[in-house]
Structure 1
Amino acid sequence: MHICSKITLLLISLCYLSACEKPKDSHLDTKSDLALLSEPTVNQRLAVESSKPILFVTQVPVDHDNNTRLSAFANHRTSVQDVPRGGDLMLLYPDGSLRNLTAEAGYGMSGLQLDRAIAVREPSVHPAGKKAIFSMLVGSPPRSKALQTKASSGFRWQLYEISGLEKNQKAVIQKVKNQDARFNNVSPIYADDEEIIFTSDRPRTGDIHLYPQLDEYEATPSISGLWKLNPSSGKLRLLSHTPSGAFTPIIDHAGRVIFTRWDHLQQDQLADRDRDASRNGVALPFKSFNYADETAQAKQLESREEIFPESRVGSESPYGTVHAFRSNFFSIWQIDQDGGNEETINHAGLHELSFGYLTPSFMHDKNLSKRTREELHRNRLALRREGGIFHLREDPLEPGVLIGINARESASFTTDSIIKVNARPDINPEQMQILAVTRFDKSDNLKDGRYRNPLPLSDGKLIASHTSNQLPPEPETSLRDLRLKYLEIDTTSRHYTAATPLTKGIHKSLSWWDGEQLRHYQGDLWELDPVELKPRRKVPTQLPKLEAPEKSILDAEKIDETELRRWLERNQLALIITRNQTSRDRADLQQPYNLQVPGGIKTLSAINPDGKLYSIQHFQILQAEQVRAYADRAGRRHLAQTIRDFHPLNLSTNSENSTRSQPKSSVIIAKDGSTAALVPAERALTWQTTDQQGQAIVRERNWITFKAGEIRVCASCHGVNHRDQANFPAPINQPEALRELIRRWKLAR
């Protein structure tokens, strides 16, 4: 079950209610789809505004891309090997004049970098256009490895606000109040309600014994998610809990928070190596183990068991061999500014954005496919699978069009070619299209050089950080240069290429202590993270409203929707509803798609109705818990675990629906295919459907966070884009599972 956006569900419901044509096997089902295909090409950027000042940062070049400042992940670390000090926050005016804002405000130092040294990253402009927020690291360690280690433990990226950005003003920088100074806070943006949204490595609970949160790849310290801070009151909320990290959020013209998220929900590869070592009778290289729970006093277990998802190396089940499952993709996500409605951008998935080969779940089910159905989507340019899309910006001349870098995950400093994707809120994933803005080459040899931090400007120009490196640098080597440049269209290729630099080069001579070694740099600094200094329109907040099927149930049961939401909020719960778990999007042939509820609804594929039929009885919900640890490092990794305090109202009192082998933290799938469950808010969740014995059938391998008080509805499991596997629109039935849950809730109040 991918959680569907309200907009997507509304469009599908309207299509169904108006009897929109006989089902077809084309991805263009209605005339309205044709209007979604009129996407501008790269040479249609026409100025609508005059040129604006540009904020950007400088950075002392980093000599490797191993979890450092410009890396895809773990780029928040603070050692001098990861982020040499000496950069600044700069402001470039349209007339070419340049201000060093941090120096002007009394921050930073020249020559030897010590206690007043700084590094700066990711400025973002206030909606009024008069001030900006950014992240800054203050201090560089002194000589000696022992002193350096002690000093480095106290260095943290923190949020700062700058004003005085007009030419006749003096820059003033103030540290943002009431942020948690124990952790690294980066990538800040202003929300429309004047609060601050940012990413942080603060553990979900803030408990130091869980710090640092370790990612799902190589157990490297990671960002824990998107957070929201009210600087006046100090109120802090976790909007999106991400076990492997979230990066560079922006707010688009529709008010959505758009960000890159690392989708890496897979079993622990370090534990796999420990299991192999144990079988071979040799020392465990990572000494992985599980804790009994997330508390500081938790018992250390001998087990390193993982219950979800399936194994990285393959396994067996009553349905035959289960393929090995591995996941590694940096994809585009969206969430409301208050933390509701988190999902992949427009509910798009790998089938649309990174199509091609996908591993089916059961090896011996010949009806499952190793290929995606490319005839069902318009996109013909697949994003990198071992990487993804980074440094997103919305084009001010094409609202809803996102421009970013399609880079691999390592050894590239997230430099590569520039692409754009139409992600307007009203566009169906099947119509989304990725276009190459600069030359695209899967061989990684970019003859025009490599790009980072693209920024489409209001005056019609396009800029980006550009390096002359054609190939990714070799391990333990750096980029030759990385400068902000204007891009121009090549009349032959019709792609953009790097042209004139924005500056004459910002040159510095610096030194710093790296343990006992005094390191030096003399030359041009890298120029990164540009953003226009201009106002943006605030988007009025819209109150959530249930759609007709669910609203009808509440009305029939005489339940006030507002009262229900307030009860959920007080109890730190969300309510998630699926109308029909047997209905799945027609593009997904990698997991079972001929599904039935025992004694209830059945949905068969229109293209393969005689394929293997699977019975699904339970919907099991799992939560991310930091219970995996390693003897050789601090912090803990998340594993998917059954929900310990699964709400008792989720358990059916109807003996007809109950089963003896019901898995922990699961609900019964009703005869109409529906489910409804009360789940924890502000914690990453995932789920699967199982058979009557609790064996997994369909696994949905994304983490989703819900807001307290949220009621989320998905019409189908793996929500329908246009049609499900039976070639029908998304279900609009009144979910009987919700009716039963609401009746239990009424009795318990």
Structure 2
Amino acid sequence: MNHTFRSFPRRRLGQTGIKTLILIIFVSAILLPFARDAAAVSQPTIMFVTQPPHGDDFAAVNSVFGNHLARADIATRGGDLYIRYGDGTLRNLTAEAGFGLAVRQDIAVREPSIHWSGNKALFSMVIGGTTLNDLTSVYWQLYEITGFGQGQRAVITKLAQPTDSNNVSPIYGTDDRIIFTSDRPRNGNRALYPQLDEYESTATNTGIWSMNPDGSDLRLLDHAVSGDFTPIIASDGRLLFTRWDHLQRDQQSNEGTLSYGAFNYASETSAQQLSTSAEVYPELRVQPAGSFTHGHTMNQFFPWQMNEDGTGLETLNHIGRHEFLNYFDSAHNGLPEFIGPTGRRSATNILQMKEDPTRPGYFFATSAAEFRSHAAGQIIGLNSPESLNPDNFQVDYIQDPIAGAIVEDGQTAPSNHPGHFRNPTPLTDGSLVAVRTTSPFGDRAVSGQLSSRYDFHLVRLARGTPYWSVAERLIPTGISKSVSYWDNQTFAQVSYSGPMWELDPVEVVARTRPARHSTPLPDIEAQILRDELGSSAAVDQFAAFLRSRNLALVVSRNVTRRADRQQDFNLRIANSTTVTADTGATPIDIAFLQFYQGDLIRGYGNLHAGRRPIAQVMHDGLNPDVTGAPAGSVKLGADGSMAALVPASRALSWQLTKQDGSAVVRERYWVTFAPGEMRSCANCHGINTTDTVLHLPPPTNPPEALRDLARWYKANFASSGCAPAITSASQSFPAAGGTASITVTAGSGCAWSAVSNSPFLTITSGASGSGGGSVSYSVAANASTISRTGTLTVAGLTFTVSQSGAQQPCSYSISPANQLVSASGGPGTVVVTAGAGCSWSAISNAAFLTVTSSSSGVGAGSVQYSVAANTSPNTRSGTLTIAGQTFLISQNGGLCTYSISPGSQSFDSTGGSGIVAVSAGAECPWSAVSNAAFISVTSGATGSGSGSVGFRVSSNTSASSRAGTLTIAGQTFTVTQNGSTPVCTFVLSPKSQEMGFPASSGSIQVVADGGCAWSASVDVEWLTLTSSSGTGAGRITFTVAKNKKAKSRTATITVAGESVTVTQRGRV
């Protein structure tokens, strides 16, 4: 059964890091103007991130899936948050705000998102994880930046959030709540961490979350079994995102035949390992030979939508497999397989959606291969305004589909292959920016961990016919950098020097804040509830009842009416006259709808930690008992209707069954409902225009099953007006604890009580009451670093409290601890090292010292200060107190002047040593420090009066040149060093060629490392080289004159001692 519940019936169709830091920045760390084409015009302002190249693409930071982890081996350190203004000026925002290599800090940055006002932005950043033998987990965390306008000063603030989870892809909601994806366990229970996906059983995020800007009121909006990715808010208010749809049995078990040691836990709350790895839903992945039933697998990344409160979850516009794909199999013999219409433009992995600001409802996206692509491929378009009927949907190919094709090793790339693209970003001026790599191949590491075939960079695309093409590179010279850090996973020092990847662009511009989107219960169902419960107020009380029990209401009108033929569609409600069947067909009797919930109970003894969700018969719902019904099911109404109360904030699926419980039609997706949500789907596999049998529009019958369920609820929970409910079923608290209250709704005279079931939760008032009231409680501080959960029982209902673990005890250090400053004064920086969440402040204790940056911070950061000029002839000193540490500044008197000679020196790649002479007045003190790891002071680190400083430059093993400085007596001495000359080897292919006697042409492939120059020569006159030199990989081309003789002849083409023989046959 391929549908999700929807108020407006449409069809969903769907299967599927000694820490050494070297900073050589070939662009300014803070502000970089660059030369631009004279014909270029001012363009929109773009915020983006940089990252060292990283060729490995399995569950890495840019991968299609599993991209949320923060380990240094898969989230490479050394990147930054940048802004590029319309005139081409660049600013390194993280460096400016005191983060990154400029302050000896290993960071990675990802996914900026701009506020509606255009004057602040969210992004994710991970800090550290690169200290030798320190295996403490680090996590992606959410940060907010302000002050990135031209002339402003950038300030970065860490948000309050779950600190023991990876939180990525943040965006602002229409009400400024923070929406993001996280791998926090569904209910905060660390025993369930990490959640594993349904494909490789690899760690995945648990779905889309929402919280207030202060970190309170944390909610799970969609419990994604295999992961949600890159949410956006559309101009119509819908919350859109990519969801990995992979509802199938565990391929790491394969029904117990594989060696990964798959087993089931007794429950999510139990650590007891059972002796079974049994699964119950859906059908087998591979059926035995000759089986009537077909195997079921599914693997797709489709666009989904929901409201910001988690209600209304469904595929985008209810578009599914029947609109996106060209083929999938049927459920069993006798049913037709699905074959898409001729000419269909298909897409399976639809990633990184962004709405066109000039065309509301039109979305650009990337269609990319799942592996070796870093989620880069072909850019496509989805014209999907909310009003669009899926029957009228078609994928637009913005680029030639060849952009999505990976050229395999050994193959020759087509001449028109443009490379691969990702992060399509439509701009307010109607143009399109994206990230491109020129390589057509699948990526892999080339020469170490920080290496790649790919050269991701920002480009502007130009509209063409029929496809868009690259018009220009936004940063022609690129952004180059040298990084080096320790990776504990590979237990090695990893280094890189060269161009950085440019990723995740977003336009910096104010946008209209959309109205909040909602999906109301249709009038037909709403009227039944009003009629049966007595009033709209009673319906509201029913909704409160659902929220208090973490339940949702789901309704269908006629489940026999369907819109696909790949599962059974000739259906009849058992013991009724409700039937939908082709003429002459024998319908299948159906009696129940059975629900399944995604329980995290699958573990592996021989794989890795974590739990994979598998389908279990629903046990957290609340429905009438029906004799003979399968567990977890509800009885279908005689009119074909269905109504059920199902667990909220939990992945669910379902199937229609016969009276004996055997399956007939299965849902192909996991669906999450929100607490208190009331959701109606007119029929199974919702009809877009007409159904597949009767060719009629969606049913409009009042669902009798809903009427029966409403009466059962009223009789069992609302009789005498006593239907106690509480405002919500859960609340999250920080480690510091706090207080809160719970509102109780109950009929007049209905008594209730409240008790704590956990020692750290205390009822402070409202331990008992009658009718409406409230319960106040307090949460004690959590001294442990481990998060915890507890419960209160209020009016017979369970209220869950989740509390974060305490931060590790805070320790602080500063670097340097002191500084000698010349009489003229000037600015300076002190680096603060502190644990994440550890707050600190900076104050001046001397009038001539001023803190010029923010006077406080959280976690690692930096403090900028300024020293006033000393007009007195006497030296003076003063201190700053930074993070409780004392920073001493000594300043020379005004009579002391200094000079050095020479002011710079150059070295070849082997390095060497040098001496700098210092001229200073008698008894004028000075010091010498190195600002680069490859330069060391060997003598004269301090002195008084004239003297000298000795230094040594280490060898440069990189091919790239580098520069660094010494600060000597307050003066800057610059060292430049050439890169190493590469050892060049050349390979010619093919080694021989045979030509016919007529005049013709040929070519020879030259394989060489970049920077290796070559030229070719030939030993005969009848063969002419038309292209005979190059650098790095290239091609020699040549022509041969017609051989007028009957005897064959031979020529030798030589490159760097390598030769190719060309033989030309004689005239026939």
What per-residue deviation string (whole Å, max 9, x for no partner) do you get for residues 558-599 of structure 1? Answer: 2423222222112211100000111111xx111000001112
Structure 1 contact 372–589 (Cα < 8 Å) conserved: no
Q: Which residue of 2 aligns with 1:582?
A: 560
Q: Which residue of 2 aligns with 1:3?
A: 4
Which of 263, 267, 278 is matched with 1:293 structurally?
267
Give the structure with the larger strand fraction.
2
- The CA distance in 2 between the partners of 1:420 and 1:478, in whole Å, is 29
User: How many Å separate the matches in 1 of 2:535 and 2:385?
Assistant: 35
- 1:656-695 aligned at under 5 Å gives the runs 658-660=626-628, 662-695=629-662
Q: Is the 8 A contact 2:598 2:652 kept in 1?
A: yes
- 1:567 counterpart SS class: helix
- Compared with structure 1, are the counterparts of its residues 686 and 316 closer, same or farther at alpha carbon in structure 2 (3 Å cutoff)? farther
Q: String of CA shifts for 1:127-163, please: whole Å, max 9, x gaps.
A: 11110000001114123xxx15x13x2x100000000
**TM-fit CA distance, 1:619:** 0.2
The answer on 1:527 being equivalent to 2:528 is no
Could you tell me how far apart the structure 2 residues matched to 1:700 and 1:715 are? 15
Distance 1:554 1:533 in 2: 47
Work out the CA distance in 1 between the residues paired with 2:63 and 2:282: 27
User: When you count helix as a share of all residues, which structure comes out higher?
Assistant: 1
Paired with 2:637 and 2:81, the residues of 1 have a C-alpha distance of 57
8 Å contact kept, 2:457–2:503: yes
2:472 corresponds to: 500
Where do 1:154-169 residues align within 5 Å? 155-169=138-152
Find out whether 1:75 has 2:60 as its counterpart.
Answer: no
Larger RCO of the pair (alpha carbons < 8 Å, separation 6+) = 1
Whose radius of gyration is greater, 1 or 2? 2
Task: Give the partner amino acid of 1:629.
Answer: G
Secondary structure at 2:417 match in 1: coil
- Kept in 1: contact 2:48–2:112 (CA 8 A): yes
1:65–1:475 Cα contact (<8 Å) kept = no
TM-score by length of 1: 0.86
Q: Deviations over 1:427-463 (max 9, x none)?
A: 0111111111111137545701110111111111111
Matches within 5 A, 1:236-385: 236-272=218-254, 275-277=256-258, 285-295=259-269, 297-314=270-287, 321-354=292-325, 356-363=326-333, 366=334, 368-372=335-339, 374=341, 380-384=344-348
Q: Assess, with a 3 A threshold, how the Cα gap between structure 1 residues 543 and 389 changes in structure 2: closer, same or farther.
A: closer
For the 8 Å contact 1:3–1:712, the answer to whether it is kept is no
Q: Do residues 572 (structure 1) and 536 (structure 2) align?
A: no
How far apart are the structure 2 equivalents of 1:566 and 1:316?
51
- AA at the equivalent of 1:66: F
Q: Tell me what 1:20 maps to.
A: none
1:238 partner SS: strand
Q: Deviations over 1:155-195 (max 9, x none)?
A: 10000000002111100000012x01001000000001111
Pairing 1:411-426 to 2, within 5 Å after superposition:
411-426=372-387
Matched, 1:540 2:515: yes
8 Å CA contact 2:426, 2:433 repeated in 1: yes
Which residue identity is paired with 1:181? T
Between the aligned partners of 2:517 and 2:620, the Cα distance in structure 1 is: 32
Moved >6 Å (runs of 4+): none
Q: Determine the structure 1 residue equivalent to 2:714.
A: 746
Aligned counterparts, 1:621-640, within 5 A: 621-632=595-606, 633-640=608-615
Q: Which residue is equivalent to 2:207?
A: 225
Shift, 1:313, TM fit: 1.1
State the secondary structure of the residue aligned to 2:232: strand
The 1:512/1:373 distance shift into structure 2, 3 A limit, reads closer
The CA distance in 2 between the partners of 1:691 and 1:601, in whole Å, is 16
Q: Which one of 69, 72, 87 corresponds to residue 95 of structure 1?
A: 87
Q: What letter matches 2:7 in structure 1?
A: K
Distance 2:268 2:99 in 1: 40
**1:732 maps onto 2:700 in alignment:** yes
Q: Which residue of 2 aligns with 1:30?
A: none
Q: Aligned partner of 1:700: which letter?
A: E
Residue 594 (structure 2) pairs with residue 620 (structure 1) = yes
Q: Which amino acid aligns with 1:580?
A: N
SS in structure 1 of the partner of residue 706 of structure 2:
helix
In structure 2, give the amino acid aligned to 1:167.
Answer: Q
Q: Secondary structure at the match of 1:312?
A: coil
**Are 2:431 and 1:461 aligned?**
yes
**Is 1:201–1:212's contact at 8 Å kept on the other side of the alignment?**
yes
What does the per-residue CA deviation read over 1:381-427, in whole Å, with 9 as the maximum and x for residues that have no partner? 0113xxx1111100111111110110121111111110001111000
* 1:105-116 map, 5 Å: 105-110=97-102, 116=105
Q: How many residues align?
A: 667
Once the two structures are superposed, residues 111-139 of structure 1 have per-residue CA deviations (whole angstroms, 9 ceiling, x without a partner) of xx96x211000000111111000000111
User: Aligned match of 1:124 in 108, 113, 123?
Assistant: 113
- Secondary structure, aligned partner of 1:565: helix
Matched AA of 2:494? R
Q: Calculate percent identity across the aligned residue pairs.
A: 42
Distance 1:474 1:103, change over 3 A: closer
C-alpha spacing 1:251/1:543, structure 2 compared with 1 (3 Å)? closer
Deviation of 1:84 after TM superposition, in Å, equals 1.3
Q: Which amino acid aligns with 1:120?
A: V
In the alignment, residue 144 of structure 2 is paired with which amino acid?
A: E
Q: Secondary structure at the match of 1:269?
A: coil
Report the counterpart of residue 430 of structure 1 in structure 2: 391
Contact 1:7 1:425 in 2 (8 A): no
Contact 2:141 / 2:163 at 8 angstroms: preserved in 1? yes
Corresponding residue for residue 440 of structure 1: 401
Q: Could you tell me how far apart the structure 2 residues matched to 1:99 and 1:238 are?
A: 36
Q: State the match for 2:784 in structure 1.
A: none
- The alpha carbon displacement at 1:536 in A equals 1.8
> Residues 545, 518 of structure 1: CA spacing in aligned structure 2 closer, same or farther, 3 A cutoff?
closer
Deviations 1:636-675 (A, max 9, x none): 000011122331xx225xxxxx452x11110001110000
Unmatched tracts of structure 1, length 5 or more: 13-48, 278-284, 653-657
- Alignment deviations for residues 346-366 of structure 1 (CA, whole Å, 9 cap, x no partner): 111100111x22111122xx2
Structure 1, 686-695 or 514-523: larger mean CA deviation: 514-523
State the AA in 2 paired with 1:680: P
Distance 1:737 1:373, change over 3 A: farther
Paired residue secondary structure (2:381): strand
Task: Look up the equivalent residue of 2:90 and give its one-letter code.
Answer: L
Return the alpha-carbon distance in structure 1 between the equivalents of residues 560 and 289 of structure 2: 24
